[in-house]
Each structure stands twice: as C-alpha cells, then as structure tokens.
C-alpha cells in the first residue's frame, strides 16, 4: 500500500529507565510515531517505502547520531524527488565553547563526579560543525542546498549548565537532565533570530532532494510511489 504520510519530524528522546542510548523518534504530520531508532545505531533503516515522504524536519538531531551520513542517506531514500529537508546542528565558531553539555562533561571528568550527559551518548561530546561543512555533507548525500543561515545565541547554555551541575553533581538527581532537556527543547521550538554563522549558536540548512538520475537513487516500485503519484490503470 502507498504510504500516506507526507511530513516526518525527527525528535531526540532521552533514554527511559533501563535504556542506555537516546533515540531518534520519528513522527508523522498527525504526530503518530513512525519509528524510534537508537542514536547508537550505525545503520539506521526507517520503516518507510522509497520516495514516500514530501518533507523531513531534523532539528538538533544529526549531532547526536552515530553517523550522520547514514541518516542523510535514509532521508534521500524516503523523500520524493524535490522533497524538502530541514536540518539544524550546533556551529563550530568562536562561541562554540559555550556549550552546557561539553562544559559539564569536562567538569564531571575533572572532579570525578556526576554521570556523563545522556544526550552525548554515543558520541561522547556534543558535536559542532563548521559552517561550510554542513551544506557540504547534505549535498554529498544527494540534496541541493537552497538556504543556510545561522540562528540564535548560546545564552541558554549557562542556565542549562547550572542546572546540570546542580542536579546531576550536587543533588545527584539523574532525572534532572530530562527535565532540563524538555525545558530547552520547548525554548527552541519557536523561530530564532538569524545571525552570521561566525557568532550564531546553530546553523539551519534547507535542501531539496535531487531529481531522478542521482547515482544513489534507489529503485522505485509502484508500491513505493506517494499516493497521489501512484500509477493508475487505464480505463
């Protein structure tokens, strides 16, 4: 059967009790869960047909996964030609050191107290990307980049760091990270100020999947076509 979901949103979910790795939760436009895949998975496979999705939003996702290229390859596979992708990741620039997760990890290692942030598993540290690298890896995967711009300042990192130290080291409440994570996620849900990538906290890239003929195009079966593009028999 053709897949009817047109938009997929990716969310980072911290581990539940008993889990080791965070996961990437994928939801449809109606907020139904499509899949949940651990960030430590080296070869993710999204349970969606080839060329069945029109747009994907992956904000603050790629920096957490084992290999961002394998995720981008899956996005190429499930997007229709000209399907839209939006990704956002932390920037590597003069202000990148103001990162609550990485400072907390350094403090924790130095004093030998407090668990490492769950968000940084399996990468160990919160990855940042040079402004030119993000469009490059997106294009390498099979997209045409249509826009790339810096967003936001790292002002929210300071209270997040204070909360991590107070909760995970001083009070030894591991669950405090989940509370802080949710608070920060909500604070980033709205539009942010566009800034030069030299000072911005994050870079957002908008891209379109290349049309037919890209050398890694998966074969297209009739059952893989989006519902409105499926071939119809002649009367």
Are the CB atoms for 172 and 113 separated by under 8 Å?
Answer: no
How many residues are there in the chain?
235
**pLDDT of 35 higher than 90:** yes
pLDDT band at residue 192 under the 50/70/90 scheme: confident
Assess if residue 224 is contained within a domain.
no
What one-character-per-residue DSSP string does 30-57 give?
T--EEEEEETT-SS---SS-TT-EEEEE
Q: Where are the beta strands (DSSP E) in 106-187?
A: 143-151
Assess if residue 118 is contained within a domain.
yes
Assess if residue 11 is contained within a domain.
yes
**pLDDT of 1 higher than 60:** no
**pLDDT of 223 higher than 70:** no
Please tell me the predicted confidence (pLDDT) of residue 217.
52
**pLDDT of 228 higher than 60:** no
Q: Which of 95, 55, 102, 47 is nearest to 197 (CA)?
A: 95
pLDDT band at residue 212 under the 50/70/90 scheme: low
Assess if residue 230 is contained within a domain.
no
The alpha-carbon radius of gyration of the chain (Å, integer) is 19
Pairwise pLDDT comparison (150 vs 2), residue with the higher score:
150
Q: Which of 100, 98, 117 is nearest to 199 (CA)?
A: 98
pLDDT band at residue 99 under the 50/70/90 scheme: very high
**pLDDT of 4 higher than 70:** no
Rounded CA gap, 120 and 116, in Å? 8
- Return the residue matching tokens 């995970």: 168
Assess if residue 225 is contained within a domain.
no
Copy the structure tokens of residue 95: 């202000």
Range of the domain at 42: 7-213
**pLDDT of 222 higher than 60:** no
Pairwise pLDDT comparison (19 vs 81), residue with the higher score:
81
Mean of pLDDT values over 107-121 = 91
Pairwise pLDDT comparison (100 vs 190), residue with the higher score:
100
Assess if residue 2 is contained within a domain.
no
Assign residue 58 the CATH number of its domain: 3.40.50
Please tell me the predicted confidence (pLDDT) of residue 29.
79
**pLDDT of 130 higher than 50:** yes
**pLDDT of 75 higher than 90:** yes
**pLDDT of 224 higher than 70:** no
What is the four-CA torsion angle of 176, 178, 182, 184, rounded to 10 degrees? 60
- Indicate the average pLDDT of the chain: 87
Mean of pLDDT values over 123-148 = 96
Q: Which region among 68-82, 138-152, 217-231 has the lowest average model confidence (pLDDT)?
A: 217-231
Cis? peptide before 219, omega within 30° of 0 = no
What is the four-CA torsion angle of 179, 182, 183, 189, rounded to 10 degrees? 180
Give the chain's domain count: 1
Q: Which of 195, 90, 205, 191 is nearest to 150 (CA)?
A: 195
**pLDDT of 227 higher than 60:** no
- SS3 of residue 178 by DSSP: helix
Assess if residue 220 is contained within a domain.
no
Please tell me the predicted confidence (pLDDT) of residue 18.
66
Helix, strand, coil percentages for the chain (3-state, nearest 5): 30, 25, 45
């Amino acid at each position: 059967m053709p897949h009817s979901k047109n938009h997929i949103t990716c969310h980072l979910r911290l581990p539940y009790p008993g889990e080791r790795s965070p996961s990437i939760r994928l939801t449809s436009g109606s907020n139904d869960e499509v899949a949940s895949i651990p960030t430590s998975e080296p070869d993710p496979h999204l349970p969606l047909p080839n060329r069945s999705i029109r747009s994907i939003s992956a904000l603050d996702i790629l920096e957490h996964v084992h290999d961002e290229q394998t995720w981008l390859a899956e996005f190429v596979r499930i997007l229709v030609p000209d399907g839209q992708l939006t990704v956002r990741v932390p920037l590597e620039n003069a202000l990148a050191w103001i990162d609550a997760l990485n400072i907390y990890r350094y403090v924790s290692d130095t004093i030998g107290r407090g668990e490492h942030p769950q968000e940084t598993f399996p990468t160990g540290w919160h990855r940042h990307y040079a402004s030119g690298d993000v469009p490059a890896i997106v294009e390498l995967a099979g997209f045409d980049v249509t826009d790339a711009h810096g967003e936001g300042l790292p002002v929210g990192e300071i209270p997040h760091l204070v909360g991590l130290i107070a909760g995970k080291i001083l009070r030894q409440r591991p669950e405090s990270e989940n509370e802080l994570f949710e608070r920060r996620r909500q604070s980033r849900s709205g539009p942010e100020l566009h800034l030069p990538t030299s000072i911005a906290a994050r870079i957002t890239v908008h891209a379109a999947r290349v049309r037919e003929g890209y050398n890694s195009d998966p074969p297209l079966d009739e059952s893989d076509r989006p519902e409105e593009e499926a071939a119809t028999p002649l009367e």
